[in-house]
Structure 1
């Protein structure tokens, strides 16, 4: 399985929107991915800001398999970001997002030099919980009515990883 991550660009619009439309049922009620040209342009512009990063998970032929977003990157004493993600339905549950997340963690703690990454996940979203858990995140808490998705305030579990957690996990896998 050859997986890479890269930042999205305007030329991805057609393939991205096609993938998101095919995945709309999978994403509901967990996330609202861009579905129109205007939403895609806003998404690309937003993630070109210095406090945001987005990565497409791509296969050997550059097909889009999923998306990881780092939002609200805070520097200074905090060095933190929030992680959001969603798979493309055709590739969900096949290990592609896990392979992509490993690369996102490399960028987060290596290239970006952040200290902490947090993922807030709806408790019933077992696939997302499993993804972060399998990649070394720990559950830190529960936030009632945390985020408004699909017009409803939804509860979330808070999962996180620090650079120390990541380095320990990376070293354990290297042995």
Structure 2
């Protein structure tokens, strides 16, 4: 089991107003696969090329096992995004490439099922995962990268307070093609200033 105190021994769960972030389980396969299949045309242009067994149960079980290994090693924290009222899966968000030592940083990535896009659910999920990063995980810096043409993702990150640092040329191979990406970042001190201001406005 994991010995690092910042991760703990229980699988994480983060609750917001409309969505809950919870750890993926093997039993999620059918619902997860149905949403991914339904949203394939919506998602493929923003993701690495799907494997031939992408939506097969065996591949999902391997994925969940890898998620657990990464979590207990302290390398990553994957979440499914589910509706708080119904428990319905609407997407996913993950923190990966966690580096400790002098870096104390990680990278986030996310996807939203097409039927649930445009409702502000991803914006809430990003805020929740950011709070988890700068709270229990005690990270200093979070990074995110998105293709310049992905206007939805740009809006989500900028609304969450991320700063665009520059353009990463030919950064990731997306849908079979090397693509440029904007690099965004958010620092712990910036997040805490935002939280203080939000609390001041709400009080």
- Whether these two folds match at TM > 0.5 is yes
Match of 1:98 in 2: 123
Question: Is 1:169 paired with 2:194?
Answer: yes
SS where residue 131 of structure 1 aligns?
helix
Match of 1:135 in 2: 160
Structure 2 runs not aligned, ≥5 long? 1-16
The partner residue of 2:132 within 95, 103, 107 is 107
Structure with the greater alpha carbon radius of gyration: 2
- Listed one character per residue, the Cα deviations across residues 66-120 of structure 1 (whole Å, up to 9, x for unaligned) are 1111111111110111111000111101011111111111111111111111001
Match of 1:41 in 2: 61
For residue 140 of structure 1, report the CA deviation from its aligned partner: 0.5
For residue 38 of structure 1, report the CA deviation from its aligned partner: 3.1
Distance 1:46 1:52 in 2: 10
Distance 2:92 2:75 in 1: 17
Distance 2:57 2:166 in 1: 36
SS where residue 5 of structure 1 aligns?
strand
Structure 1 runs not aligned, ≥5 long? none
TM-score normalized with structure 2 length: 0.82
The partner residue of 2:80 within 52, 56, 73 is 56
Distance 1:78 1:56 in 2: 26
For residue 158 of structure 1, report the CA deviation from its aligned partner: 0.1
Q: How does 1:16-95 map to 2 (within 5 A)?
A: 16-32=32-48, 34-48=54-68, 49=70, 50-59=74-83, 60-95=85-120
Question: Is 1:4 paired with 2:26?
Answer: no
Could you list the structure 1 runs, at least 4 aligned residues long, displaced by more than 6 angstroms after superposition.
none
Aligned-pair RMSD on alpha carbons?
Answer: 1.3
Match of 1:156 in 2: 181
Distance 2:64 2:193 in 1: 33
TM-score normalized with structure 1 length: 0.95
